[in-house]
Amino acid sequence: MTVENVIIIGSGPAGFSAGIYTGRAQLNPLLITGNDIGGQVAITYEVENYPGFPESLSGPELVEKFQEQAQKFGTRIEYDYVDAVDFHQHPFSVHTQGGKTFQAKSVILSTGATPRKLQIPGEEELTGRGVSYCATCDGFFFRGKKVVVVGGGDSAMEEAIFLTRFADEVTIIHRRDALRASKILQERAFSNDKIKFIWNSVVTAINAGESGAVSHLTLKNVVTGAETSFATDGIFIFIGHEPNGWMFADQVDMEDGYVITDRRMHTSVPGVFAAGEIQDNHFRQVATSVGQGVMAAMECEKYLAGLEIAAEEPAAELVPA
Ligand code: NAP
């Protein structure tokens, strides 16, 4: 079996950046995409804070550019989902849902994170029928309607503002009486006439009407305990993310589902690096993921050079006792 120099798992900003750098270093990297190309930025309507694009661009446009640049330097793309890895033996092995097994001298983990669920009655059943985690994908269907956004972070504010392009009314429901979002996004949300807030409240159930789509929510005020019903056509949930790292459990050191790395993106296994939201639950920016992907690639290059030197060095002579 061919042993790859480096396999990059994941096709978000971290993965493609690692592809650009390892490709340019002539390492002929293989990047395995996961189910969807681009990760979370691929479902972002507008990216306005990625340096170098002052006019801003859409998430899918940015992903296309990342991919084009990675392929330009020789990154090979495998459209598959990694479901198992073995880092206990070198060369490492990587298995995909498509039934393929690859071997590699080094691996860069960049599988990112996915939206967290509320885990309440009605959420799963009504996903796609009024429950959504992607305003860019589904906002259009709510033209002239009433929608709810759950969450108090940057994502909730950004997506609520985006939804006002379509919906007549956007109600943000937050479990506390203060937002976590950055000041600039808070100000934009507060000054938008179409956005209303319900504070100190959680959604406890999502209910369907006769059509089978979302018609109303059950809300609970966490201060008074009072339960109310709130009519809405849709609910968009932005309450954070879960890391996509279950397949790395027992292979590298992890904490709360995130892969632990040092400041140079090394995991607990020499030759395995991690970058982006699979190892960063704090910054979560396209720009920081790109930086981490670059760092992982540079360290990976150094690791592979070290392996080559070790292979070329003559074995130490045995000295008789
Ligand atoms: P986040 O900052 O973790 O915020 C999650 C929000 O959901 C919080 O307000 C949290 O409430 C609430 N929440 C969590 N679990 C909940 C539950 N079970 N029920 C109800 N509410 C719940 O997540 P995010 O907004 O996705 O942002 C993630 C990171 O990406 C952040 O670092 C953010 O700055 C960054 N980001 C930046 C931009 C930008 O700069 N343009 C855009 C998007 C995201 P509490 O506040 O009470 O904890």
The closest alpha carbon to 115, from 305, 244, 300, belongs to: 244
Q: How far is the CA of 124 from the centre of ligand 1 (A)?
A: 21
Buried b (16+ CB within 10 A) or exposed e, 175-196: eeeebebeeebbebbeeeeebe
> What are 125's two structure tokens?
């059943």
DSSP 2-29: -EEEEEEE--SHHHHHHHHHHHHTT---
Q: Which of 39, 20, 4, 8 is nearest to 273 (CA)?
A: 8
Q: What is the pLDDT of residue 313?
A: 81
Q: Could you tell me the pLDDT band of residue 185, with boundaries at 50, 70 and 90?
A: very high
Contact 67, 13 (CB under 8 A): no
- Mean pLDDT, range 79-96, rounded to an integer: 98
Cα 104 to ligand 1 centroid, rounded to whole Å: 36
For the annotated catalytic residues, the residue numbers are 134, 137-138
- What type of residue is 265? M
DSSP 254: E
Nearest CA residue ID for atom 38, ligand 1: 154
199, with CB counted inside 10 A (0-12, 13-18, 19+), is middle
CA 311–ligand 1 middle distance (angstroms): 48
**Is the CB of 180 within 6 Å of ligand 1?**
yes
**Runs of H (alpha helix) within 174-260:** 183-190
- pLDDT band at residue 109 using 50, 70 and 90 as cut-offs: very high
Instruction: Give residue 102 CA to ligand 1 midpoint distance, Å.
Output: 36
The CB density around residue 139, as the number of other CB atoms within 10 Å, is 22
Per-residue pLDDT tens over the stretch 123-181: 999 988 999 998 887 899 999 999 999 999 999 999 999 999 999 999 999 999 999 99
Contact indicator for 127, 208 with CB cutoff of 8 Å: no
Per-residue pLDDT averaged across 189-200, rounded? Answer: 98
**Alpha-helical regions (H) of the chain:** 13-24, 59-72, 135-138, 154-163, 183-190, 286-312
Mean of pLDDT values over 93-98: 98
Rg (CA), the chain: 23
**Residue that has been written with the tokens 């429901």 in this structure:** 173
For residue 119, the ligand 1 atom closest to its alpha carbon is 18
pLDDT in tens, 282-320: 888 899 999 999 999 999 999 999 999 988 887 655 555
Q: What pLDDT shows up at residue 45?
A: 74
What's the pLDDT band for 43 if we cut at 50, 70, 90? confident
Query: DSSP letters along 26-57, please?
Result: T---EEE--SSTTGGGGG-S-B--STT-TT-B
Residue-wise pLDDT tens digits, 246-286: 999 999 999 999 999 999 999 999 999 999 999 998 888 89
**What was the pLDDT predicted at 319?**
53
Q: What is the mean pLDDT of the chain?
A: 95
Q: Is the C-beta atom of 151 inside 6 A of ligand 1?
A: yes
Query: Measured from the CB, is residue 100 less than 6 Å from ligand 1?
Result: no
One-letter amino acid for residue 219 of the chain: L
The CA distance from 295 to 288, in Å, is 11
Structure tokens at 18: 């690692």
Task: Find how far residue 234's CA is from the centre of its chain.
Answer: 23
Nearest alpha carbon, ligand 1 atom 18: 118
The reported pLDDT for the residue numbered 128 is 84
